[in-house]
Chains A and B, each alone.
Chain A
Amino acid sequence: MRADTEQDILKTELWWTALVTAVVTAIMLAIIYAGLVHHINPPSNIETVDPKTLHLTGEFTEGNLGTRVDGSQITSRIVATQFAFQPQCIVMPANRTVTLRFATPDVIHGILVTGTNVNTMIIPGYVSQVHTVFTKTGDLLMPCHEFCGLGHSQMWATVRVVPEDEFKPGPDGRVTCDAR
Chain B
Amino acid sequence: MTHARRLTLAHLWVAFAAFAIAAVLGVWQMWARSPLPAPYLTAQAYFTSVTAHGVSMAYVLTTFMVMGFGYYVAETTLGRPLPYPRLAWLGFALGILGTLMAAATIFAGNATVLFTFYPPLTASPFFYIGLVLVVVGSWIWCGLMIVAMLDFKRVNPGTPVPLAMFATVANAVMWLWTTVGVAAELLFQVIPAAFGWNEAIDVGLSRTLFSWTLHAIVYFWLIPAYIAFYTMAPQAAGGRLYSDTMGRLTFILFLIYSLPVGMHHLFMDPQQSSAFKFLQMSFTALVAAPTLLTVFTISASMEIAGRLRGGKGYFGWIAALPWDRPMVLATGMAFFMLWFGGGGGLINMSFGMNAMVHNTSWVTAHFHLIFGGTVVIMYFAIAYAIWPTLTGRQPASLRHQRLQLWLWFIGMMVMTLPWHYLGLQGQWRRVATFNYADPVIAGWGPWVIVSFAGGIILLASALLFVWNLLEFHRDRAVVAPEHPPIYALAVHPPNRVPAALNGFALWNVLVLVLMIAAYGYPIAQFFIIDAPEAIVHRVTGGG
In the complex, A touching B (Cβ < 8 A): yes
- Where the two chains meet, the residues of A that have a C-beta atom closer than 8 Å to any C-beta of B are 3, 5-6, 9-10, 13, 16-17, 20-21, 23-24, 27-28, 30-31, 34-35, 40-52, 82, 106-108, 110, 112-115, 117-129, 141, 143-153
Measured between beta carbons, the chain B residues less than 8 angstroms from A122 are 270
Q: Which of chain A's residues has its CB closest to B44's CB?
A: A150
| Alpha-carbon separation in the docked complex, A147 to B273 (Å) | 24
Q: Which residue from B112, B270, B537 sits with its C-beta under 8 Å from A45? A: B270
Say yes or no: B535 contacts A52, CB within 8 Å. yes
Report the nearest A residue to B350, measured CB to CB. Answer: A31
Are A129 and B285 in touch, CB under 8 angstroms? no
Check if A125 sits within 8 Å of B359, measured CB to CB. no
Q: Across the interface, do A125 and B534 meet the contact criterion of CB distance under 8 Å?
A: yes
- The reply to whether the CB of B204 lies closer than 8 angstroms to some CB of chain A is yes
Listed in ascending order, the chain B residues whose CB lies under 8 Å from chain A are 43-44, 46-47, 112, 114, 118, 120-121, 202-204, 207, 242-246, 266-274, 277, 281-282, 285-286, 288-289, 292-293, 296-297, 346, 350-356, 358-360, 425-426, 428-434, 438, 440-441, 491-492, 494, 525, 529, 531-535, 537, 539
Q: Are A9 and B492 in contact (CB under 8 A)?
A: yes
- Rounded to whole Å, the gap between the CB of B282 and the closest CB of chain A is 7
Which listed residue, B121, B204, B244, B441, touches A149 by the CB 8 Å rule? B121
Determine whether the beta carbon of A3 is less than 8 Å from that of B491.
yes
Q: Which residues of A contact B44 (CB under 8 A)?
A: 150
- In the complex, which of the residues A46, A51, A120 contacts B268, with contact meaning CB atoms closer than 8 Å? A120
A51 / chain B contacts, CB cutoff of 8 Å? 532-535
Report yes or no: A121 in contact with B289, Cβ–Cβ below 8 A: no
Given A35-B352, A119-B359, A121-B268, 8 more A-B residue pairs with CB atoms under 8 Å apart are: A27-B285, A106-B537, A107-B118, A112-B428, A124-B535, A146-B118, A150-B47, A153-B432
Q: Are B268 and A43 in contact (CB under 8 A)?
A: yes
**Cβ contact within 8 Å between B430 and A152:** yes
**Chain A residues whose C-beta falls within 8 Å of the C-beta of B273 in the assembled complex:** 44, 46
- B245 adjacent to A10 (CB under 8 Å): yes
Q: How far is the CA of A24 from the CA of B292 in the complex (A)?
A: 10
Q: How far is the CA of A25 from the CA of B372 in the complex (A)?
A: 29
Residues of B within 8 A of A41 (CB): 274, 351-352
B338 to chain A, nearest CB (A): 15
Sorted nearest first, the 6 A-B pairs with minimum C-beta distance are: A114-B426, A124-B534, A40-B352, A145-B428, A145-B359, A119-B355
Q: How far is the CA of A42 from the CA of B529 in the complex (A)?
A: 21
Q: Once the chains bind, are A125 and B533 in contact (CB under 8 Å)?
A: yes
